[in-house]
Amino acid sequence: MTECLFCKIVEGKIPATRVHEDETCVGFLDIHPQAPLHALFVPRRHLATVNEATAEDRALLGHLMVTAAKVAKAKGLADAGYRLVLNTNRDAGQTVFHLHLHLLGGRPLGWPPG
């Protein structure tokens, strides 16, 4: 997926401020943050949306959530609270079509969102 922005970030072809990296995913700061901490967690393997995920991707999806929670805890957000968001397709606000989990925290987050 050579034209995918997030694939290029994962490959190191585009710089990003990384907050996490392992064999399964990369976490980096959003360039248009909506909270004091706004990080994105993307799988190294390209999936355009969660609609492409299969039963074999359960571990990958769980890994993204557990990883985001670890980063939230390390950044001191666990007790105050944070939000994890996974947008799917345009009407939900997805603008980069590489599955990504948003971690938002560091300020009170209203409800309902959007």
Cross-strand partners of 18: 28
Give the tokens for residue 10: 């994962």
In the chain the domains, ranked by start, together with CATH numbers, are 5-80 (3.30.428.10)
The pLDDT assigned to 114 comes to 66
Residue-wise pLDDT tens for the chain (114 aa)?
468 999 999 999 999 999 999 999 999 999 999 999 999 999 999 999 999 999 999 999 999 999 999 999 999 999 999 999 999 999 999 999 999 999 999 999 999 886
Catalytic residue set: 100
HEC string for the chain? CCCCHHHHHHHCCCCCCEEEECCCEEEEECCCCCCCEEEEEEECCCCCCHHHCCHHHHHHHHHHHHHHHHHHHHCCCCCCCEEEECCCCHHHCCCCCCCCEEEEECCCCCCCCC
Instruction: Tell me the pTM.
Output: 0.95
